[in-house]
A and B are shown apart, each in its own frame.
Chain A
Amino acid sequence: AQSVAQPEDQVNVAEGNPLTVKCTYSVSGNPYLFWYVQYPNRGLQFLLKYITGDNLVKGSYGFEAEFNKSQTSFHLKKPSALVSDSALYFCAVRAPDTGRRALTFGSGTRLQVQP
């Protein structure tokens, strides 16, 4: 079975500081990894994905994530946080080798950026 863990319910960071939102995964075979963001009363917006290749992937709004196979992690990062980044962030995994197409999501991490 595939699973995703987001160990922090909430992350607080001051505007202008770097931010990290943590994600670890468990899956058979090679993972496809995704980050999504959700603003209040909205659907999920795609930020970035790792499929293969370079371990550092860049996405929308200045976000990036680093795939670490040995630590089974895919942490989301941004060098300088904005107040407008405050939202709910979800990490998700898919294991194409298993034939299971659905994404499995983590429980979400609320990012609060203080001005």
Chain B
Amino acid sequence: KAGVTQTPRYLIKTRGQQVTLSCSPISGHRSVSWYQQTPGQGLQFLFEYFSETQRNKGNFPGRFSGRQFSNSRSEMNVSTLELGDSALYLCASSLALSLAGPTNTGELFFGEGSRLTVL
């Protein structure tokens, strides 16, 4: 079974540009979450999508946005890049049969990440 696939793995942008990152979840997984990982702030939750709808959002500015498609694939976009946006962006999928319930333990399966460098 293929794991979570993130593209691109590495990218370099300059301040003010925008970037789009892509995530394909494990087949059958309908929930996709995004996390930002930096040495200073650690792992921070960005947002979660389920059935093409954003279900949860972390404490990030509006420059960070995302969406999910009908095949559960997800993209996140960062506009007007700042130096502080340099980070490893991790996508995770989970088997969310419903928003709540005993089968939804919240276990996440992560991709390899997209490492963004902003110059």
Contacts and interface: CB of A to CB of B under 8 A. Distances in A.
Interface of A: 32, 34, 36, 41-46, 49, 51, 90, 94, 96, 99-108
B33 A102 contact: yes
A57 B85 CA distance: 37
19 contacts: A36-B110, A41-B115, A43-B4, A43-B6, A43-B111, A43-B113, A44-B92, A44-B110, A45-B110, A90-B43, A94-B105, A96-B104, A99-B100, A101-B55, A102-B45, A102-B58, A105-B42, A106-B42, A108-B42
B10 to A, nearest CB: 9
Size bracket, chain B contacts: 20 to 34
B106 A32 contact: yes
Contacts of B105: 32, 49, 51, 94
Residue among A36, A101, A103 with max Cβ neighbours from chain B (10 Å): A101
B64 interface: no
Nearest to A94: B106
A100 B56 contact: yes
A43 B56 contact: no
Chain A at the B interface: mostly helix, strand, loop or mixed? strand
A58 B56 CA distance: 30
Closest 6 CB pairs of A and B: A43-B110, A105-B43, A44-B110, A94-B106, A102-B45, A43-B112
Nearest to B112: A43
Contacts of B58: 102
Contacts of B42: 105-108
B48 A101 contact: yes
Nearest to A36: B110
A110 to B, nearest CB: 12
Contacts of B113: 42-43
B116 to A, nearest CB: 14
A96 B100 CA distance: 8
Contacts of B95: none
A105 B110 CA distance: 14
A102 B6 CA distance: 20
B59 to A, nearest CB: 11
Given A34-B108, A41-B115, A43-B6, 6 more contacts: A42-B112, A43-B90, A96-B104, A96-B106, A102-B58, A103-B45
